[in-house]
A and B are shown apart, each in its own frame.
Chain A
Amino acid sequence: MTNSHIAGDASSKRHREHIEQPGSPMSTRPTKKCSTFSSLHVFRTPVKSHTEHSPSRSAKHVLSCWRSRLGCSKYAASQVDAAVPTLKYEKLENSFSHLKLRSPEPIGFTHVDATDSNTHAIFSMPEIVAKILKFLDADMALPQEIVPLRRRPQSLAHAVLKCNGDTTKGFQLWNQTVAQLKTETGQKSRFEQPVSGNLHSCMLVNKLWHELALQIVLEKLHFNDHRKFRKFLESSSHWPRDSSPSATKPSILILHKLSKLSQQDLDDLASRVATEKLKWFELYICPTVALSPDIFHISCNVEKLILPGNRFVSDQFLMSIARSLPKLKELDLRACDEVSDSGVVAIATSCPQLEICNLGRHRNGHRITSVSLVALARHTQIQTVGAAGCEITDAGVWELAMLRGQGITRLSFNNCRLLTNNSLPALLALNYLPHLVVMEVRNIVNITQVRPFIIYKRWKKSMGVPVLIEGCERIELLMIEEKGRLDAENRARILADLTKWVNCEDF
């Protein structure tokens, strides 16, 4: 026993044969063996004759997952683990009694069935298994950019300012930032590693489970690893094509940072996957592939289109797909330098439900002007605008505030060099953007008037709504100075009022 445990796969196979000897009564098998057996992952590759035992591991996972959702903390995972073999059959039945399922007929292990003779009948009912597997899917993390709570400080002095002048905290923050920047050469540290595998393990249980789990897996296709993506393409080559009803129709398709992605791969994917149900399409920093507009022509359900850092996204592309995106809510075109006003106008005029639009860039800022801003304001339900590094003007921002002022919640205007005090400071002072909660105004040289920012922040704070204003070192410093002045003024006013009250006539 212990030998096989240590020696790994080869001996465990022998061990498996040993315990699988026909005629050996299940009840005599010690439970401990079973659990060790299952923990060795021998069923990584499914072997048909042994499928009867395989659920033990996956089932344990699923069960405990399910249990926790149902709130049955009473049943510890170990109990569940032990419950699967026949030995603890009654126990399992008891634990499920509150679910009011039909009572399964006791099946002897001499009975040979296509379904599992050894586990609870619940695991051979497709509807129930599908439900359970869906829960697993909910836990699955998609490869996502982690949005930092606050932007990084630009310098040590800036870090100190961000910590409200607390030097030690500022030092800490700056050191953290430097450390982060160093580790980020590996690029992926800033991004969450998706936890997959649970569903994939379930696919290895038996035919039924494979079928059900595969359906769920194909609902959401996401890859952040080039190797896995290629494997998927290889294995999917024999799948039914577009036209057939059983074709793969994912609702989510994410290719996350596949820098080596080739045009051929993408075209293969497009030919194998039907896009009519697609809701979320993401090509996160895959700069070297051009998307075919056809992907979107069949579908009219896309709500989220994330294409940052793609140099083939052009005005022509946007114009050709705009009409196919009537339900678009979120559009991310960060660092898509080729896009100009005409592309954005095309999107704005045909996507009335658009709420989030990010056009931030470092290059070709002159291609996005107030025209884009005004188009978004006029035709969409825009709430969040990212126009970092674009050449938008005060007039454009005013138009946006006039038309969408009540809806605007987040604005990023970093490096918008044309903006002046007549833009955000004036708009906030007049309270034309009453629901703004995040505002980024880094490196805007012409903004010198920050008093409205402070007053606005205080007003929101008094209502329990925190407001984040990200400024560069200069603006943060201005804000701190202005805060001091405002405090002094308030204090003087309060003291004057108090003196007046103290000296007024008694009644």
Chain B
Amino acid sequence: MSTNEANVPTLPQPKNTFTIKVGLIGDAQVGKTSLMVKYVENVFDEEYTQTLGVNCLDKKIKLGSADIVFYIMDLGGQREFINMLPLASEGARAIIFLFDLTRPETLKSIKEWHRQATGFNEMAVPLLVGTKYDLFVNFDPEYQVQVSKQSMRYAQAMDAPLIFCSTSHSINIQKIFKVIIAKLYNLTMRASEIKQIGDPLLIYKHLGSKRRFSENPSSRNSSSRTPSPHRSP
């Protein structure tokens, strides 16, 4: 509508907006809501608030040619909310499985979460994210080795990029969402991987790139309003 202001008017080009739904799944108190709020609003609250059912927030990223909206859905970790799992997983382009690095049993539950979520949505890119790295780093080295190796095995099995993060200390938070985009559109991401045990792991290059099934790019394009990705073999 700049026609009246400019002397030589030009035709405005509408910006496309792509909405990418991301589901956050994992046991209670691993930090799903915290991660979401941290990413969207860049704040961290020490206090724990139980998520009743599903929370959602969206974050818009403005690029020159298009806008990307992450529509993040966070499912309450309590068992009673399992029936809301379809809400968080169906139609999601990526599902982030979170576990608490200080509580190994939360990693074990991932197996079940993963099984259930892929039942509803097998096309989403999975991510395995360990939270509370800031606390984990103070645990004794042997424990760290054990949990790190275990999580690497899980990541391998799920074919999911593995990321250790800390919401309170802002470690690897942005990376999580960049990895999602890189995996979704098969983009070259140059950030170096972190594989040294004891560091906040970031292993993504060879995980999650496999095509999960043969999909029709055009139908996918229309259903989720995203640019059909060029997936060169």
Query: Of A455, A463, A501, A502, which contacts B13 at CB under 8 A?
Result: A455
Given contacts A501-B178, A503-B190, contact A430 B63 (CB under 8 A): no
> Inside 8 A of B191's CB, which chain A residues have their CB?
503
Query: B8, B65, B66: which has the most chain A beta carbons within 10 Å?
Result: B65
Interface with B: A40-48, A213-221, A350-358, A487-495, which one?
A487-495
Given contacts A499-B188, A501-B61, A501-B63, contact A491 B227 (CB under 8 A): yes
A429 and B191 CA atoms in complex are apart in Å by: 41
A434 and B188 CA atoms in complex are apart in Å by: 40
Residue A497 is within 8 A (CB to CB) of chain B in the complex: yes
A interface size (C-beta, 8 A): 28
Residue A236 is within 8 A (CB to CB) of chain B in the complex: no
A499 and B181 CA atoms in complex are apart in Å by: 9
Q: Which residue of A lies closest to B229 (CB)?
A: A495
A483 and B168 CA atoms in complex are apart in Å by: 47
Residue B174 is within 8 A (CB to CB) of chain A in the complex: yes
> Inside 8 A of A28's CB, which chain B residues have their CB?
none
Residue A459 is within 8 A (CB to CB) of chain B in the complex: yes
> Inside 8 A of B233's CB, which chain A residues have their CB?
none
A493 and B63 CA atoms in complex are apart in Å by: 10
Within 8 A of B (CB), among A451-507: 452, 455-456, 458-459, 461-463, 490-491, 493-495, 497-503, 506-507
A251 to chain B, nearest CB (A): 39
> Inside 8 A of B64's CB, which chain A residues have their CB?
493, 497
Residue A420 is within 8 A (CB to CB) of chain B in the complex: no
Residue A296 is within 8 A (CB to CB) of chain B in the complex: no
A494 and B68 CA atoms in complex are apart in Å by: 10
* Contact digits for B171-210, partner A, Cβ 8 Å, 1 yes 0 no: 0001100100110010111110000000000000000000
Residue B10 is within 8 A (CB to CB) of chain A in the complex: yes
Query: Of B3, B9, B65, B182, which contacts A502 at CB under 8 A?
Result: B182
Contact across chains for A429 and B189 when beta carbons are under 8 A apart: no
> Inside 8 A of A434's CB, which chain B residues have their CB?
3, 9
Residue B118 is within 8 A (CB to CB) of chain A in the complex: no
A500 and B227 CA atoms in complex are apart in Å by: 16
B2 to chain A, nearest CB (A): 8
Given contacts A501-B61, A502-B187, contact A428 B11 (CB under 8 A): yes
Contact across chains for B187 and A495 when beta carbons are under 8 A apart: yes
Given contacts A430-B11, A456-B11, A495-B230, contact A501 B16 (CB under 8 A): no
Residue A299 is within 8 A (CB to CB) of chain B in the complex: no
Given contacts A429-B10, A430-B10, A456-B11, contact A498 B63 (CB under 8 A): yes
A463 and B15 CA atoms in complex are apart in Å by: 11
Q: Which residue of B lies closest to A506 (CB)?
A: B174
Contact across chains for A429 and B63 when beta carbons are under 8 A apart: no
B225 to chain A, nearest CB (A): 12
Residue A431 is within 8 A (CB to CB) of chain B in the complex: yes
Contact across chains for A431 and B3 when beta carbons are under 8 A apart: yes
Residue A281 is within 8 A (CB to CB) of chain B in the complex: no
Contact across chains for B175 and A506 when beta carbons are under 8 A apart: yes
B14 to chain A, nearest CB (A): 3
A497 and B66 CA atoms in complex are apart in Å by: 8
A495 and B174 CA atoms in complex are apart in Å by: 19
A/B interface sample: 15 pairs, CB < 8 A: A428-B11, A429-B10, A452-B11, A455-B13, A459-B11, A459-B12, A459-B14, A461-B14, A463-B14, A493-B65, A495-B185, A497-B64, A498-B185, A501-B181, A503-B189
Taking Cβ atoms with an 8 Å cutoff, the residues of B that contact A are 3, 8-14, 16, 61, 63-66, 68, 174-175, 178, 181-182, 185, 187-191, 227-230
Q: Known pairs A491-B227, A495-B229, A501-B63; list 7 more (Cβ under 8 Å).
A: A430-B11, A455-B13, A458-B14, A490-B65, A494-B63, A499-B188, A502-B178
Taking Cβ atoms with an 8 Å cutoff, the residues of A that contact B are 428-432, 434, 452, 455-456, 458-459, 461-463, 490-491, 493-495, 497-503, 506-507
